[in-house]
Each structure stands twice: as structure tokens, then as C-alpha cells.
Chain A
Amino acid sequence: MITVQYPEERNLLPENYRNFPFLIYDGDDAHAGLRCVACKICEKECPPQCIYIIKSEDKKPDYMGKPQLYPKVFDIDISVCMSCQICVEVCPFEAIKMDKDFELSKRERFDALLVRKEELSKSNDYYHKIHPIEAAAVDKNLTDAAAAAEAKKKAAAEAAMKAAAAKAAAANTTPLQPTATSPSKPDA
């Protein structure tokens, strides 16, 4: 064990190190790419109740293009949060992850300790930088889920098309039959 001259030198943090959650957005736009859909599960499950969410009235497309709600307000009280990672575990959208930043002291006691959506939102690249292994696994999960959803959609569309075709065929055959067998058309 060697003494590390802290602010100049730093120990490398382990991959699993966790301190305080943040919200992930895909791409460059923090608003458009935000994965959170304001389902409020983390707010409900948070043991010290430090998350505060207000849903939006309008919708924006998520990473699969599906219109979803987004949080109009997403605040986390840094002085209450105990970095237990339960919000991360319960999130079904991989939208909230643990940060590694531990230098969180602020100059102001009240407003600065309530971290707003804008400060919480960090890019997926940042997530890859701090938790490379975990982030790769999450990305794989998301692309797999998107591919599965796409395949399902395609299959559903195909099935729908087939059903429509069958219906159309049936519709075509039924009105045709009386005409074909109709004795009122002798010239056919």
C-alpha cells in the first residue's frame, strides 16, 4: 500500500464502483435521446425516497421510435441519496445508472444539493467511459430487445398481411362464387 498524493495522483476506481445515479441519453441531444419514460418505478422503490418525478403531457419517440412520455421534472436529492443502486436495478428501460463521481461538494446548501434533470442527464458515451463492461452488456441488451421487437413487428406485420391476404382472398372468392355458379350469366 502506497500513499497516493490525492488531487494530483488518483487511484483507478474499480469497474463496479458506484456513487450517485445519473440519467442516460443516447446520441447528442439530452432531451431527444433521454431513455427515461417517467414510469416512476424508481421513485416508488427508492428506499430513502430521494427521487422526484413529474410526467410530461406530450410524448416523444424513444430509441425504438415508439412515442413515450418523458420526465418534465426529474430531481434527485443528493443529501438523501445513499447510492444503494436499487433505482438502477428496478429500471426496466436501462435509463438510470450509477455514476463514479465522488467529488460532489457544493458551495450552497439547499438548491445546489437538489440535482435537476439537466445536470443528471449524461451521454451514453460517458457511461461507456466509466463502466465499459457493464455498458457494453447494456447496449447489447438494448439492441437485442430492439431487434426482437423489430422481428416481432415484422412477424406481426407479415402475419397481418397474410391474414389480410387470406381475408381478401376469401372476400374475393365468396362474391365470385355466386357469380361463377350463377345461372343468371349464361354467356360466361
Chain B
Amino acid sequence: MSATLETIEAMERPPVTMAPRLDGELLEISMGPQHPSTHGVFRMNVALEGEVVRKLKPVFGYLHRNHEKIGENSSYLGSMPYTDRLDYFCSMTNNWAYALSVEKLAGIEVPERAQYLRIVLAELTRLQNHASLLGFLLNDMGAWGTPLMYAFREREKILDLFESLSGSRMMCDYMRFGGCRCDTPPGWMEQAKKIVDRFPRFIDELEQLVVGNEVVIGRTQNVGVLSPELAIDAGITGPMLRACGVNYDIRKVDGYGFYPRFKFRIPLGEHGDTYDRLMLRVLEMGESLSILQQAFAQIQPGPITNPKVKIRAFRPPAGEAYGRIEGPKGELGFYLISDGGPNPYRYRVRPPSFINLTVLEDLCLGHTVADVMVILGSIDIVMGEVDR
């Protein structure tokens, strides 16, 4: 029977009921996964009382792509390009963390120049990650576009360096077990020096425009306060932890690579609020610049790969290793178990973004929805790493 106008009219309609008023009740909404401020496909189920957050449940897994299982089925070298895709802002540090774990597992020495190059690249990565994070954070606060474009201008210069060195802007795939893949092209170091020399201008500009800005202070101070006790209990690392005043930087604690040869300070926060997290990153950029200047002064020509490492049919001895570095977002670690075969028996990533995200509810309770975006922005997550 086809539905004509008459039959529809003749149909019985259910009685219209008015929804009861929601006074004193919580309103549940699902923010994300297509929310522009969630930095990817991240969802939060929020229970609101008026505008105030009373409950928050993070939902992730939308970008899950089986990274660890793929790593267990591909060769040791074959996992290297996949690590670029974890935290796609910082592929150089991801490469380093993975190479470090495999070097620990197989007992591989790294030549001097490669160690310096790795530090240069890791600090450049930190600069561009922090710069773009600050841009995104201000974007979330409502400063549409301009600060982000300022940050991206600087980031683009560093990505150009990465492209001329490794062949790709973001998916660098540059480090290898026992060194780096290729030496710097002619003129690369000079270019890098130029960018590093000019970078303080960006930091000064940012400080002048943003850090003392009344709106920024109003939106960030005393918002999302993280106590040092909770931070330590929850395993928070990186700028999040140091903003609470806990002095823990793996560059100092572990002294991996050639970091013990460098003089640098660890900036620490005091209150653990969003403002401290923002400011700490500005200060860290300054320290990175000083590390870079020292590295440029110390780096010497020389071999960049260990000739003893086999490219084809690489098989580390049976055993286990955990290598970790201070990534721009926190402790990035790779845990590997080898059974002597061509691929790892177990391959596990300890992603800083994912573990830093676990305290999101504690930070957001009692704040408004608009603050949730700012707090989430200050945690510095990349969904490629959270979901893996």
C-alpha cells in the first residue's frame, strides 16, 4: 500500500509529550570525535551542570591502526617508518627512541657525529612541536588563525630543514640502528644555524604578544591545576610534570645520547596550571636553542653510521630492552623483546600523550566547557600516538 496524503492523515499519531525540565539534572553531551579542538579524532563524553563539567569520560581508539602488532610482524628496520606515524609532529624523536631501544637490545655503538646530529634534530623537533602547540592552544582559546600562523611560519622553516636532510617533511624515517641514514647535504648546517639564530625573535614576539596578554592570563591561570602528587601517581611526564614543579627530565636523569656533554637548565613550573604549562614550553624552547648552539659548536665531520650493523637480515640476540627519551611531549619509550628472530617477539610503545591524557577528567572537573578545550590543548596530545 502506497502512502498517500490521505493515509498519512488517517494514521493515528502518538500523543505529543513535553520533555520534563532538566533542573538539577546533568546534561550529557558527546564532544567529538569531529570536534575541531580535539586535535584529531578524540571524543569526550561530558556530563554538564549548566556550563560546568561534572563528569568527563575520554573515548579514544578512532585512529587505532594496530601499530604494535604490525611491529611484531615486520622486521626491526621495517618498524622504523611506522614510528614516524605515531606522533607525526615529532617523527625525529620517535625514530631516535626506537633506534635507541634496538641499539640497547643489540649493543650497538653510535658514532660521534650521528649522536650530535640526533641531538640537533631532536631539539629542532622540540622547537617546532612547542611552537605549533602554543599556536594550537591559542587557537583553542579563540585567537583564530594569527598565532597559529605565526607558529607555523617557524615550524615550516624547520620542516624545510628536515625535508632537505631526510627527503620528507614529516615522515622523516631518518635514524637507523647505529647512526643516521645519510649525512647532511652541503649548506645544511649553515641553514640550521641561521634558523636557530633567528628563532629568539619568534620567542620574544610570542612572549610580548601572548604571555603577558590579559585574556590569556584570565583564561589559563588557575585553570586545570594538576598537583605534583597526582602527576607522579598517574605517571605524567614531560612538560606536564615539570609544570607542577617536579624536576624530572630524562635528558638529565638517563643522560642518553651525548646530553651529559651539554649545559642546559630544566625550567620548572610552580602552580601546575595551564598558564605554567604554556610558559614552561616557551622557556624550554629557549633551552633547546642553547643546546643547539652548543651542538653546532661541537659537531665535527665524521662517519654517521656504524659499519658493523647489517641492513639486511638484521637479527639482534635474544633478550629485552627498554629505551626511552625525553620527547617534546614526555617520556617516549619502546619496549622490545627479541627471541633472536628477524622480528620482535613483543613490541610495545609507551606513548607520552596517552598517559598524560589519563588525568584529563581530574583537570577538567569544575571548569566550564570552554576551559576543557584549553586544558586539552595544554596537555599536548597527538591522536596518532594516543591510539597507535
Contacts and interface: CB of A to CB of B under 8 A. Distances in A.
Interface of A: 1, 14-18, 41, 45-47, 82-86, 89-90, 92, 98, 133
Given A1-B153, A47-B74, A47-B82, A14 B185 contact: yes
20 contacts: A1-B153, A1-B157, A14-B164, A17-B163, A17-B168, A45-B75, A45-B312, A47-B78, A47-B79, A47-B81, A82-B81, A82-B171, A84-B171, A85-B167, A85-B173, A85-B181, A86-B80, A89-B311, A90-B311, A133-B185
A15 B187 CA distance: 12
B270 interface: no
Contact of A84 (B157, B164, B173, B182): B173
B279 interface: no
Contacts of B173: 84-85
B81 A86 contact: yes
Contacts, number: 58
B167 A98 contact: yes
Nearest to A90: B312
A87 B156 CA distance: 28
B77 interface: yes
B211 interface: no
Given A47-B82, A90-B312, A14 B163 contact: yes
A27 B79 CA distance: 36
- Contact residue range for chain B? 20 to 34
A53 to B, nearest CB: 16
B312 A41 contact: yes
A83 B85 CA distance: 13
Interface in B120-167: 153, 156-157, 163-167
Contacts of A45: 75, 77-78, 312
A82 B85 CA distance: 11
